[in-house]
Amino acid sequence: MNSKERVLAALARRPTDRVPIQVYLTPEIQQKMMQHFAFDDPEQLLQQFGVDFRGVYPVYRGTLPPTPEGADFVDEWGVGYVMFDHGHDGAYPEASHLALAELHTPEDVEQYPWPSPDDYDYTHIEAACDQYADYAVFAGDAGRPDILNGVSRGRGMEQVMIDIMTEDPVGVAIIDKRCDFYYEVSRRTLEAAKGKIDILCLGEDTGNQLGPMFPLEIFDAFFRPRLQRFIDLAHAHGCKAMMHSCGDTSRLQSRFIDMGLDILDAMQPEPSGMQPERLKEQFHDKIAYCGLISTQQTLPFGTVAECRAEARHRLALFRDGGYIFAPAHCIQADNPVENVLAVFEEALGLAPGAFGAPQ
């Protein structure tokens, strides 16, 4: 089986030669992995770990706004960021200039220099799909539309939550600017691919460690119609729809299924409602899962034996398909290299130590 065949068969609950594999790495742990294998190209690492997915993306050709004072860089939304060293061998961009917090009236929203889908070049998309014809090809990412996190970086988390709960007209207009932008970028990307994209990726953190981020009626009224557009867009182009959501989504999964979502990504096993056995029993024939390898506990703090045991448990539990083997989120910089190597050896059916011992 090639990767595309493997992924599509697993999603259809048909037999496969092995589990499909995806990987999410921070730049720092990726570099450690590449050093371990003496690789100089990230593609070599994807092949080593048996990753069955490759992404295609339009190329940004626009002009970014000026970098705000004190920021290290700016994004297309005008939000400024600094690289924050979190003290665990890595750094993250943290929003330092909240440009969207300065919008107070509908006129402010209309006059703001929003990014445009025209800022991107889509002409190479079909050729990129052809390059990865043997893989499961995806477009998009967890950042679209990413209403809560994405808008919060420019407006502040508390304000965005208030905007949603009160349906503040300015806040809602800002949110819809983001949703409309990413919908059109996604549509143009799928159009340019001419049917050669297998999965459209989107994201919205609908859960926290204790349950849904918002009351279920708020999800139904506010989030559902905005996310439904992307799922319907994927299906209209013959794609599967895959959505990232952190946290405990157990109470929302019946809704995701009703919306037609095909794959739920970043499945965290730690929250109380997210026991893999229970979720499989309830939803296995209705939605596929990607993740379930713990990035909160087992990978960072477990032993090699515990990491292997968790990987083997997931592989056995989903031996009849409907599962993509992956970490529950990006593997962080301070995770032991030997733990990461161990789980991917298990996924590939390799003997312990096949990837070599860390230096």
What local confidence, expressed as pLDDT, does residue 43 receive? 98
What local confidence, expressed as pLDDT, does residue 357 receive? 85
Mean pLDDT to the nearest integer, 291-300: 97
Q: Is the pLDDT of residue 359 over 80?
A: no
What local confidence, expressed as pLDDT, does residue 90 receive? 87
Tell me the DSSP string of 56-89: E-PEE-S-PPPPPTT-SEE-TTS-EEEEEE-SSS
Please, are residues 263 and 240 in contact by the beta-carbon 8 Å criterion? yes
Residue among 276, 275, 206 nearest 244 (CA): 206
Q: Identify the CATH assignment for 3-63+98-348 out of 3.40.50.2300, 3.30.565.10, 3.20.20.210, 3.40.50.150.
A: 3.20.20.210
* Cα distances (Å, whole numbers) of residue 85 to 32, 89, 302: 17, 8, 24
Q: Cβ–Cβ contacts within 10 Å for residue 64, how many?
A: 14
Please, are residues 279 and 289 in contact by the beta-carbon 8 Å criterion? yes
* Cα distances (Å, whole numbers) of residue 307 to 267, 301, 319, 335: 16, 9, 18, 12
- What distance in Å separates the CA atoms of residue 313 and residue 293, rounded to the nearest whole number? 10
Looking at residue 249, its amino acid is T
Residue among 299, 231, 319 nearest 14 (CA): 319
Mean pLDDT to the nearest integer, 298-320: 98
The sign of the torsion formed by the CA atoms of 288, 290, 296, 302 equals positive
* Cα distances (Å, whole numbers) of residue 294 to 60, 145, 193, 222, 255: 34, 25, 34, 30, 24
Is residue 266 very low, low, confident or very high in pLDDT (cuts 50, 70, 90)? confident
Tokens for 37, please give them.
């294998």
- What distance in Å separates the CA atoms of residue 7 and residue 47, rounded to the nearest whole number? 15
Q: Is the pLDDT of residue 86 over 90?
A: no
Q: Is the pLDDT of residue 108 over 90?
A: yes
- What distance in Å separates the CA atoms of residue 238 and residue 287, rounded to the nearest whole number? 17
* Cα distances (Å, whole numbers) of residue 20 to 23, 46, 53, 132, 267: 10, 13, 9, 16, 15
Looking at residue 12, its amino acid is A
- What distance in Å separates the CA atoms of residue 217 and residue 199, rounded to the nearest whole number? 28
Mean pLDDT to the nearest integer, 274-299: 96
In the chain, the percentage of residues whose pLDDT exceeds 70 is: 100
The predicted-structure confidence for 18-64, as pLDDT tens digits, reads as follows: 999 999 999 999 999 999 999 999 999 999 999 999 999 999 999 99
Tokens for 313, please give them.
């448990």
What local confidence, expressed as pLDDT, does residue 30 receive? 97
φ, ψ for residue 343, nearest 5 deg = -70, -35
Q: For the whole model, what pTM was predicted? A: 0.96
**What residues does each domain of the chain span?**
3-63+98-348
What local confidence, expressed as pLDDT, does residue 345 receive? 98
Please enumerate in sequence order all residues whose Cβ is within 8 A of that of 154, keeping only pairs 6 or more positions apart, or say none.
Answer: 77, 78, 79, 95, 98, 99, 100, 101
Mean pLDDT to the nearest integer, 242-266: 97
Residue among 142, 236, 145 nearest 195 (CA): 236
